[in-house]
């Protein structure tokens, strides 16, 4: 294997000079640099990244841990991250925690052993002891999508509470009073915040909260399916459902279709997370859209800033907005049509 020594000999310089020229640090005259680069090309020299990292104490590698890589939401987040860090010369190691805090901790240990320069984390639950210790030691860390108590780190999140509240208020505006929710896990930030949004919307409309109408899923499809079926088995099922993420919404839609429930006539549905497939469903899904790509890109930008400039005195928090995309599954179009046809009749009666 061609070594740095061979390159130095070929270029007629010392090993230290060749190393500076190839590593891009320290002073080397432009002529010497091009001599060394020419020699490296000629000998087809590939630097040993491990050895270089040991000298520079930087691996130019970032850890990215998402809570479910099968979820298209996180695919968009990761794309946003990768587009930014790639421009700055970093590579990512992507890990999938599968909404499992133990698996997450295992990956955190591995990433630490691999000496990643920083970490982008969408946590699966509360902060474990390992993460707390690593953060205390000064790990450059940015939390994405979900915050965790006890960790003072930069974070990029969306306004989950307002997004959920707007969705439920929309259903209330369409005349629904019995609104069920399939909420996310309550130990997860987004699960908790979206349920708070649901509760706030009911409280503002003075609709009493019914425990039976709140069912907690795990952010995965199977729980959406199971809990929608439970709603349908109630003596007095809800007339509308607010489902707190995309995968649980797919599960709920499958259960409703299997049971022959018409959407939105028998049950209106609003989901959280607007996915590409939402508009081609029958009926098209009304959903709360979150800027997943921007979430990843902003988080990556924060981490790069931290790596370049060092820690900021106060952790920064970026809160992005959600947007309610009204389509047909909530019944808004039916509602509009019935108002349009009923108005002339009312006028005639008057
Ligand atoms: O599906 C995962 C969900 O959890 C998404 O809605 C995302 O916001 C995350 O918190």
Query: Residues 101-144: pLDDT tens digits?
Result: 999 999 999 999 999 999 999 999 887 889 999 988 989 999 99
Q: Which atom of ligand 1 is nearest to the CA of 247?
A: 1
* Ligand 1 geometric centre to CA of 199 (Å): 19
pLDDT at 345: 44
Q: Which residues of the chain have pLDDT under 70?
A: 50-56, 335-350
pLDDT at 350: 36
Q: Taking the model in full, what pTM does it have?
A: 0.85
* Ligand 1 geometric centre to CA of 190 (Å): 7
pLDDT at 20: 87
99 Cβ below 6 A of ligand 1: no
Q: Which atom of ligand 1 is nearest to the CA of 191?
A: 10
* Ligand 1 geometric centre to CA of 219 (Å): 7
Q: How far apart are the first and last CA of the chain?
A: 94
pLDDT at 341: 64
247 Cβ below 6 A of ligand 1: yes
pLDDT at 170: 98
pLDDT at 146: 96
Pick the residue whose CA is nearest to atom 3 on ligand 1. Answer: 245
219 Cβ below 6 A of ligand 1: yes
Which own/partner contact pairs does 307-315 have at CB distance under 8 Å and 24+ positions apart?
A: 307/117, 307/118, 307/140, 311/138, 311/140, 312/154, 315/152, 315/153, 315/154, 315/155
pLDDT at 245: 98
Cβ proximity of 224 and 182 under 8 Å: yes
pLDDT at 47: 79
d(CA 256, CA 46): 58
DSSP string, 262-311: -TTTT-EEEEES--GGGGGSSSPPEEEE--HHHHHHHHHHHHHHHHHH--
d(CA 212, CA 234): 9
* Ligand 1 geometric centre to CA of 144 (Å): 10
pLDDT at 277: 87
Q: Cα dihedral sign for 245, 181, 237, 338?
A: negative
pLDDT at 26: 76
> Which of 158, 219, 272 gets mutated to test ligand 1 (max ligand atoms within 8 A of its CB)?
219
């Amino acid at each position: 294997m061609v070594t740095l020594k061979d390159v130095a000999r070929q270029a007629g310089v010392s090993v230290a000079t060749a190393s500076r020229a190839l590593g891009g640090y320290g002073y080397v005259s432009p002529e010497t640099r091009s001599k060394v680069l020419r020699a490296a090309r000629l000998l087809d020299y590939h630097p040993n990244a491990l050895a270089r990292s040991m000298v520079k104490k930087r691996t130019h590698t970032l850890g990215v841990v998402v809570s479910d890589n099968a979820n298209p939401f996180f695919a968009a987040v990761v794309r946003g991250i990768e587009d930014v860090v790639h421009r700055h010369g970093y590579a990512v190691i992507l890990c999938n925690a599968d909404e499992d805090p133990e698996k997450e901790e295992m990956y955190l240990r591995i990433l630490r052993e691999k000496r990643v320069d920083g970490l982008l984390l969408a946590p699966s639950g509360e902060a474990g002891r390992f993460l707390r210790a690593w953060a205390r030691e000064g790990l450059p860390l940015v939390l994405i999508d979900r915050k965790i108590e006890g960790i003072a780190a930069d974070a990029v999140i969306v306004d989950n509470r307002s997004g959920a509240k707007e969705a439920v208020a929309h259903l209330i505006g369409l005349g629904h009073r019995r609104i069920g929710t399939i909420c996310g896990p309550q130990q997860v930030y987004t699960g908790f915040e979206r349920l708070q949004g649901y509760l706030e919307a009911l409280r503002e409309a003075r609709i009493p909260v019914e425990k039976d109408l709140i069912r907690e899923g795990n952010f995965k499809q199977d729980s959406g399916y199971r809990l929608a079926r439970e709603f349908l088995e109630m003596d007095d099922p809800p007339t509308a459902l607010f489902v707190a993420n995309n995968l649980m919404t797919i599960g709920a839609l499958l259960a409703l279709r299997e049971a022959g429930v018409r959407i939105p006539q028998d049950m209106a549905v609003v989901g959280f997370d607007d996915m590409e497939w939402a508009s081609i469903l029958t009926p098209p899904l009304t959903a709360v859209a979150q800027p997943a790509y921007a979430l990843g890109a902003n988080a990556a930008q924060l981490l790069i800033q931290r790596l370049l400039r060092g820690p900021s005195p106060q952790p920064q928090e970026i809160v992005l907005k959600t947007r309610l995309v009204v389509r047909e599954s909530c019944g808004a179009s039916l509602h509009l049509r019935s108002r349009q046809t009923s108005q002339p009749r009312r006028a005639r009666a008057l």
